[in-house]
């Protein structure tokens, strides 16, 4: 069933669509985010030119801002709260696809596969929308198996941030903090991968994403341009 906002919720959605990106623009003027490989994105070989890019649910605010205008496709929950996120994602120049592991998951995955086959970048929070935190649900690897695209994790570390007491420990950068955006090592999913192999690849991807988050946080805290 399509989400139908009531009067107050409808006004909030309109305000988010109209002013959300400007509020983030003003706020992120106080946060200095460095990109480990700006040439990678500028030449169109990063999230601007296809591929599958997983990120932890807690990182999504800063990454959505940093990658604004990328025209990437992202899965957003069909919940009422997801409607706010979808409006904000669209205002930042991205393409929300509605669905999650709990609601509309099959239709959402089919849509992601169709977009990925057009060489449009797909971003997924594999532990969303309700956790458990830092877990890999099978949908992400199924998209990779069906399309042949590599899975390249991304992370945005922060030198200082508030952590919301929610299941995902959602991060909001503090004013005048530093951020560090980076890519992990790509992971390939064979087209004949069975459930056992998908489980093994999920474990490996989780390990890489946790390590990448730790690396990004250390780089943000150190203020270094690149680790040796």
The overall average pLDDT reported for the chain is 84
Task: Give yes or no for residue 96 having a pLDDT over 70.
Answer: yes
Residue 82's pLDDT band, with cuts at 50, 70 and 90, is confident
Cβ-Cβ contacts under 8 Å for 22 (sequence gap 6 or more): none
Supply the angle between the helices 80-91 and 7-28 in degrees, to the nearest 10.
40
Residue 12's pLDDT band, with cuts at 50, 70 and 90, is low
- Which pLDDT value is given to residue 211? 98
Kindly state the average pLDDT of the residues 174-185.
96
80 vs 126 pLDDT, higher one? 126
Question: In what helix (H) or strand (E) does residue 32 lie, and over which residues does it extend?
Answer: strand 32-35
Straight-line distance from the first to the last Cα atom of the chain, in angstroms, rounded to the nearest whole number: 52
Whether the model clears a pTM of 0.75, i.e. scores above it, the answer is: yes
What's the Cα-to-Cα distance from 222 to each of 57, 157, 227, rounded to whole Å?
Answer: 24, 11, 10
Residue that has been written with the tokens 């946790």 in this structure: 210
d(CA 106, CA 87): 22
Residue that has been written with the tokens 């909001």 in this structure: 172
Question: Interior CA angle at 84 toward 155 and 181, to 5°?
Answer: 15
Task: Give yes or no for residue 1 having a pLDDT over 50.
Answer: no
Percentage of the chain beyond pLDDT 70 is 81
- The domains found in the chain, sorted by start residue, are 7-222 (3.40.1130.10)
Report pLDDT digits (tens) over 192-217.
999 999 999 999 999 999 999 999 99
DSSP state for residue 43 in the 8-state scheme:
T
Q: CB-side exposure of 32: number of CA atoms within 13 Å?
A: 10
- For 224, phi then psi, to 5°, come to -75, 155
**Is the CA virtual torsion 115, 208, 181, 127 positive or negative?**
positive
What's the Cα-to-Cα distance from 67 to each of 15, 16, 23, 36, 78, rounded to whole Å?
Answer: 22, 18, 16, 13, 23
């Amino acid at each position: 069933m399509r989400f139908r906002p009531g009067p107050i919720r409808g006004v909030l959605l309109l305000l988010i669509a109209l002013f959300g990106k400007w509020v983030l623009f003003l706020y992120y003027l106080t946060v200095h985010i460095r990109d480990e490989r700006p040439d990678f994105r500028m030449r169109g070989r990063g999230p601007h030119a296809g591929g599958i890019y997983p990120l932890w649910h807690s990182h999504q605010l800063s990454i959505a801002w940093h990658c604004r205008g990328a025209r990437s496709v992202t899965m957003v929950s069909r919940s009422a709260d997801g409607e706010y996120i979808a409006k904000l994602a669209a205002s930042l120049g991205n393409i929300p696809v509605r669905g999650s592991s709990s609601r509309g998951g099959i239709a959402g995955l089919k849509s992601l596969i169709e977009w990925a086959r057009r060489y449009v970048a797909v971003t997924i929070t594999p532990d969303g929308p309700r956790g458990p935190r830092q877990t890999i649900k099978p949908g992400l690897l199924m998209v990779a198996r069906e399309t042949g695209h590599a899975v390249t994790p991304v992370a945005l570390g922060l030198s200082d941030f508030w952590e919301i007491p929610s299941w995902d420990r959602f991060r909001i950068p503090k004013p005048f903090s530093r951020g560090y955006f980076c890519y992990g090592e790509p992971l390939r999913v064979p087209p004949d991968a069975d459930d056992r192999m998908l489980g093994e690849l999920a474990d490996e991807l989780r390990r890489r994403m946790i390590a990448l988050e730790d690396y990004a946080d250390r780089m943000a805290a150190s203020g270094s341009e690149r680790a040796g």
